[in-house]
Amino acid sequence: ANPDTRSADTLVESVTLFHFGTLIMDQSMMTYRRGLGTQVEIPVTGAFIEMRDGEHILFDTGMLPHGCDDGKHVTMSQYRSLVVKYEPQDDIRARLAEIGRTPDDIKIVIQF
């Protein structure tokens, strides 16, 4: 087929968004010198893209904070801290299992 006539075709079968936990930090860690003292919650997300050809793509793998069952305080520096809220179901392997997939089903990983 002519590539110009296939513009409506796609190799993407589905996209599944994942929640991989939450980071709680001082806003000033993300907005230089603004919001000092204001706590913000930032969801950690990713996506599994199921491709028609079977070469599935994972955007981000989430966090793997070992021993972090009910939230963990991680010191970033003398003045700043980061709280990681991470439950066992936030693990990438658990999220993939929810949709009947395993890490072996992933061909490409895009980490950011």
Mean pLDDT of the chain: 82
The residue type of 102 is: T
Residue 78 is predicted with a pLDDT of: 47
Beta bridge partners of 73: 83
Tell me what percent of the residues of the chain surpass a pLDDT of 90. Answer: 44
Return the ∠ at Cα 104 (arms to 97 and 52), rounded to 5°.
90
Q: What is the mean pLDDT of residues 93-104?
A: 95
Beta bridge partners of 91: none
Statement: residue 79 has pLDDT above 70: no
Q: What is the mean pLDDT of residues 37-50?
A: 93
| Sheet hosting strand 81-85, strand order edge to edge | 72-75, 81-85, 12-26, 39-51, 56-59, 106-110
The C-alpha torsion from 26 through 29 and 62 to 68, rounded to 10°, is: -40
pLDDT in tens, 55-78: 999 999 887 665 555 555 455 554
Return the ∠ at Cα 70 (arms to 65 and 71), rounded to 5°.
60
Residue 110 is predicted with a pLDDT of: 94
